[in-house]
Amino acid sequence: MLNEAMNILQKQMQLVTVKEEWSYESVTLEREELDEATLPEGAKKQLPKLVMTHLYLYVDNQDNEYVLYFLTDMTSQQ
Which candidate, 68, 77, 71, 75, places its Cα nearest to that of 8? 68
Look at residue 78 and tell me if it is in a domain.
no
Q: What is the pLDDT of residue 76?
A: 72
The average pLDDT across 63-74 equals 93
Which candidate, 59, 61, 52, places its Cα nearest to that of 25? 52
Alpha-carbon span 57 to 20, nearest angstrom: 11
Look at residue 49 and tell me if it is in a domain.
yes
Asked if residue 53 has pLDDT above 80, the reply is yes
Tell me the per-residue pLDDT of 6-44, one tens digit each, with 9 for 90 and over: 999 999 999 999 999 999 999 999 999 999 898 999 899
Look at residue 59 and tell me if it is in a domain.
yes
Q: What is the pLDDT of residue 77?
A: 61
Q: What is the pLDDT of residue 3?
A: 97
Alpha-carbon span 24 to 39, nearest angstrom: 19
Look at residue 67 and tell me if it is in a domain.
yes
Task: Indicate the number of domains in the chain.
Answer: 1
Alpha-carbon span 35 to 51, nearest angstrom: 13
Q: What is the mean pLDDT of the chain?
A: 93
What is the extent of the structural domain holding 30?
A: 2-73
Alpha-carbon span 53 to 33, nearest angstrom: 11
